[in-house]
Structure 1
Amino acid sequence: MKCEWTTFKTLGELPLGRSSHSTVVIGRKAYIFGGENIPRVPISNIIHCLDMDTCTWSELTTTGDVPAPRNAHTATAVGHVMYVFGGRTGINMGEGSFNELYAFDTSNNVWTLLKPSGVAPTPRSFHAMTVIGNRLFVFGGCGEEGRLNDLHSYDIEANTWQKEPINKDIDGRGGAGLIAIGNDVFVVAGFAGREMSDVHKYDTVSKTWSKLTTDKALPPRSVFGITSVSTFIIVWFGEVDPSDKGHLGAGGFSKDGYVMDVSCKTGWELIKCTGETPEERGWMHIAPGNLNGKDGVFVFGGNNINNERLNDSHFLSIKL
C-alpha cells in the first residue's frame, strides 16, 4: 500500500477551527458541517464548502429544513446527497441530543428533514454511520441511558428505519469506527470507559455478529478517522489516552495510520507514507474522495494535543 499526504493551501475565508464536526466529499467538493470550537458548544449550522480544484472555501446559502446547530453528529454521502443523523447541543451525555435524520442535496443546497417509518435510533451523540448501497447503518454512541451498542439501518428508497440484532458482547461505546466492506459492517475500537481495540463484524445478509481475532491488535483508540479500500480497513489519528477531564479536554493523540486486511488474520500493520503527515489529532472524520486522479481521504480540523481546535485541510492518497 502506497500512501502520500498533501496539505492544502487554501483561499477564501477559513472555517473556524473545530472538532466533533462532520466531513463528506461529494464530487470535487468537501463539505464541513457543525462541530465545536469551545467544548460541547455547537458552532453554527452553516455548511462550509472547499472546492478541491481551486482550493477555495465558501459558505453555502442553504434553504429548506435547516437543522439546528449541533456537534457530535455523523454524516455520510450517497450520490449527491449528504445524510446527517443525531448529535447534540448540550454538555452532558444525552442532554439536548437528536435522533432526526436530514438530507442535504448538494445539487441545489436544500435541506430536507426526513420522516421515516419504522423504529428509529434513540437520540444520541458520538455515534458512527456508514453506508452499503442505499442503506445507512448507525451504531452506538452516547444516549440518555449511557453508552450504546445498538445497530440500526435506514433504507433510503423505502424511507424506513429498522432495528438490527444487538451483539451483547460489544461494550456500549462512543467514538467508534464503523465501516462497510462488501455486505459486512465492521465496528472498530471506540471509548467504553476506556479506549478499545476490538473489531466486530456484522453480516447484513445473515444478520449475524462475529468478533475478529487477529495476530496483531490495533493500539486502543477512539474518535479517529476510518475508511476502507478493497478488503482493507484503514484508520488514522484518534485519541489514544483517555483525558482526565472525561473527554472535555485533550487526552493523548495519534498521528499514525494502521491497516488491516479483513480477509486474513494477520491483523493491524503500521502504515508508512510519504509527504508531511499532519500533526496528532482526534475528534474528526476522514472522508473518501479523489484528488488529481488519485483516490484517498480528506481530513479537516480536529482537536490536537494542546486542546486546540484545528482548521487545516489535508488529503491522503491511497494506492494498493
Structure 2
Amino acid sequence: MTGDIPPLMSGTCGCHLNNHMYIFGGCNDNGQTNEIYRVKLTDRQYAWTKIVHRFGSVPSPRDKLSCWVYKGRIIYFGGYGHKLLAEIDSRNRSFIEDDSSEGFVWGWNNEVHIFDPTQSSWAQPQTRGCTPAPRAAQACATLGNRGYICGGRVKETRKNDIHCLDLDTWTWSEIVPVSNVPVGRSWHSLTATSDSTLFLFGGLSMDCKPMSDGWLFDVDTKTWKEVAHQFKNKPRLWHTACQGRDSDVVVFGGSCDYILLVDTGHCNDALVFQMAPYPLFRICEDYIAKNASNCDVLRKQVPLLPPKLCTAVKRRMSFYRPSKKKHSHVL
C-alpha cells in the first residue's frame, strides 16, 4: 500500500462507504488519536489519504469506538480517550473520568459525531431521549434509519443493554428485552442479518472470559434467542464481522484469549454463520466447490460450465482448498 499510510494502531474504527474504507481514531505508541484516513478499494492502487477536515470540530482522540453508515455519512459513537481538563464540564454526563495527568483527563464518552466525506466536515448533532451511558468496546449495527448499540465497557462494568438512535431525528431509545438476555460483554460484534434481526457473537465477559456464544435479537418483538452453531470451541473477542452472501455472517480475526493478560491467541480464520436456509443454487455451488478437489470427474467438468457460473464456482472452490497455514478457513 502507498500514500499516507496510517501508523500501527489498535482499537481504530473502520467502515466501508462509496468504494472506500475509512478508519478513524485508534491507539498507537503515543496514545489515542483523532485522525481519519481512507483508501479506495476498487482501483487496485490502494493508496491511503490522510483527510484534513475543512469544517467543524474534530472529536477528541479516542479508541474502541464504533460507527454507523447512513445517507453517505459516517456517524461515530462513544469510545475511550482523553480531553483537556478545561474541556470537562462536571454538569455534562457525556464523559466519565477514569484517570488524569498533566492537564489531561482520560475516560469514556457517549458522544455522537458525524463525518461527511463529501465536505470533509465534522458535526455534532443535538441528541435527545434516553441516552446510553458513556462506554467503549461496544458493538454497533444499522437497520434502516436506526443505529443500534449493544453492550460495552465503562470502568469495571461490562454491559448487556441495547439502545437505538433514530438517525433522522437523533432520538435515543432504550430497548428493554422481554426474554432472557446475553451476559454483559465488550469487544463483541453485532451484525444485521435481516430487516429486523441482529446477530451478536463473542466478546469478553464480566469475569474476563473470552466467549463463543451467538445470539439473535429481533427488534420488533424485543426478544433474544441463543443460536446453536459449530464454533463453540472458537471464542473470539475484538474481532470483525459483516454480512455475507444469503444472510451469512462472516467473523474474521480477533483474539481467542484475554489480550491484556495473555497475548498469544491472535486468529486469522474466517467463521461463517448460516442465519437462514440457503437457496438451491447456493447448495449446489457449495457441493461442487467442496467435492471438486477430491473428484476427478467433477473437477474436469467445472471448466465446461457457462463462463459466469464457472467463475462463481471457482471462486467458491478457493474457500474450500486446504490451507498450509496453521489456521485454515472454516465454513
TM-score class, shorter-chain normalisation, is: 0.7 to 0.9
Partner residue of 1:234? Answer: 250
Q: State the 1:120 CA deviation.
A: 1.1
Task: Measure the CA separation in 2 of the matches of 1:168 and 1:209.
Answer: 6
Q: Give the fraction of aligned pairs with identical amino acids, expressed as a percent.
A: 27
1:94 is displaced (CA, Å) by: 6.7
* Letter matched to residue 202 of structure 2: A
Instruction: Give 1:23 shift.
Output: 0.8
What is the CA distance between 1:13 and its match in structure 2?
A: 2.4
Work out whether 1:252 is the aligned partner of 2:265. yes
Give structure 1 regions of 4+ aligned residues with deviation exceeding 6 angstroms: none
Query: What residue is the counterpart of 1:205 in the other structure?
Result: 220
Q: Is the 8 A contact 2:204 2:211 kept in 1?
A: yes
Tell me, in whole angstroms, the C-alpha distance in 2 between the residues paired with 1:169 and 1:138.
15
Offset from partner CA, 1:30-53 (integer Å, 9 cap, x none): 1111001139x20x2121121332
Which deviations, in whole Å up to 9, do the C-alpha atoms of 1:240-297 show, x marking residues without a partner? 1223x44xx7341111001011126xxxxxxx9xxxxxxxxxxxxxxxxxxxxx9xxx
Point out the structure with the larger helix share. Answer: 2
Give secondary structure in 1 for the equivalent of 2:11. coil
**AA at the equivalent of 1:254:** C
Note closer, same or farther for the CA distance 1:117–1:55 as it changes in structure 2 (3 Å cut): same
Give the 5 Å matches for 1:24-173: 24-38=15-29, 41-42=31-32, 44-52=33-41, 53=43, 54-62=45-53, 63-89=55-81, 95=98, 96-144=107-155, 146-166=157-177, 169-173=181-185
- 1:254 and 1:111 mapped to 2: Cα distance? 35
Inter-partner Cα distance in structure 2 for 1:252 and 1:191:
14
Cα distance in 2, alignment partners of residues 169 and 179 from structure 1: 17
Q: 2:188 corresponds to which residue?
A: 176
Contact 2:51–2:120 (Cα < 8 Å) also in 1: yes
Unaligned runs of 5+ in 1: 1-9, 265-271, 273-293, 295-319
Shift of 1:161: 0.5
RMSD between aligned residues: 2.5
- Alignment match, 2:232: 217
Q: Is 1:263 the equivalent of 2:252?
A: no
Task: Report how many residues are paired.
Answer: 253
Write the deviation string for residues 74-116 of structure 1: whole angstroms up to 9, x where unpaired. Answer: 12322310110000116xx972111001111111111111211
Residue type of the alignment partner of 2:235:
P
- Structure 1 residues 117 and 214 mapped into 2: Cα distance closer, same or farther (>3 Å)? same
Structure 1 residues 164 and 108: alpha-carbon distance in aligned structure 2, compared to 1, 3 A threshold: same
Q: Distance in 2 between matches of 1:191 and 1:165?
A: 22
| 1:195 maps to which of 210, 215, 223 | 210
TM-score normalized with structure 2 length: 0.71
Measure the CA separation in 1 of the matches of 2:52 and 2:229. Answer: 48
Separation in 1 of the partners of 2:209 and 2:97?
A: 19
